[in-house]
Amino acid sequence: MARYQTNNLLGIGLMMLAMLLFEVMDAVAKWLVSADMSAIQVIAVRSWMITAMILLILAIRGELSELVPKRPLQHALRGIIGFFAPFTFFTSLKALPLADATVVFFSSSFVLTAASALLLKEQVGIHRWSAVAIGFVGVVVAMNPQGGGPIASYLLVLCATVIYSMIFISGKQLSKHDSVISLVFSLQLGMGISATIALPWVWVPISITVLGELFLMAVIALVAHFVFAAAFARADVSALAPFEYTALVWATLIGYVVWLDIPSTEVWIGAAIIISCGLYVTHRESLRHRAQTGIRVD
């Protein structure tokens, strides 16, 4: 029996809340790196805070044994590689409007599709390959240097999407042996250690106000991941997929209110192409899953 009853309406609400929280977290990161704090320092402090919170929560619940990985070397490697995902993304936010970075990051669905075919040997048909190809055309359109920032910053976001996809795929493989909380903990621990090694070269003094902002960012990140997971536990993936793109709405609103940023026409056109192709990839994946499980597909 499933642990939770399917409730698509509740799942959609949780998904929209998770997207809002992720965009608020990214906005705090942009605020900090724009004030000349290195992304490395942001990651180091945030990761250690999240690590401490996970330890505290599981200690209170008497579930610390959940954190012991069955494949520690793979967890360690995943954590080290994982550091570069927020590093490249947060660094890009120093020059890019929040909405621009969010649009380009949506290309992660295409990277995941390609990586699944190449690394996991999953069958990807002509429909999804076509959607991936057209989706990347949308990325190129959105990355127009006149769209709001230098091309190097857009390329950093693309690097973040590739690394994120590697983390996702490795997590999918490791989840067969270890708990989800173990994956989250080892990833944060690995990122914290990696960032701390480089910290002496970029450290700047932290005021009480900035420390509070970093703590807020850590809390939001942890809550966002739990809300995101809860959404998928309570609703069908096909029902949730369209609402993942509400992140662009939140990013645009936050960017305008805080920095008076308005996405360019190129960004909106690119977003329309990317979102349309992303939804089509999700649709084809849903059809493939239904066919594999013996559900009739008309």
Please write the tens of the pLDDT for every residue from 8-63.
788 888 989 999 999 999 999 999 999 889 999 999 999 999 999 999 999 999 98
* pTM score of the predicted model: 0.86
> What is the model's pLDDT at position 297?
35
CA dist 80 and 54 (Å) reads 19
Residue 298 within any structural domain of the chain:
no
pLDDT, average across residues 65-77? 88
> 156 vs 135, 136, 252, 277, CA distance in Å?
18, 15, 20, 22
Q: What is the largest CA-CA distance in the chain?
A: 61
Q: Which residue, among 252, 271, 254, 275, has the nearest Cα to 262 in the 3D structure?
A: 252
Number of helices (H), then strands (E), belonging to the chain: the values are 13, 0
Please report which confidence band the pLDDT of residue 295 belongs to, taking 50, 70 and 90 as the band edges: very low
Residue 95 within any structural domain of the chain:
yes
- Higher per-residue confidence, 207 vs 237: 207
Report helix, strand or coil for 21.
helix
CA dist 60 and 146 (Å) reads 51
Residue 3 within any structural domain of the chain:
no
Structurally, the chain folds into a number of domains equal to 1
Domain containing 100 equals: 8-292
- Is it the case that residue 210 has pLDDT exceeding 90? yes
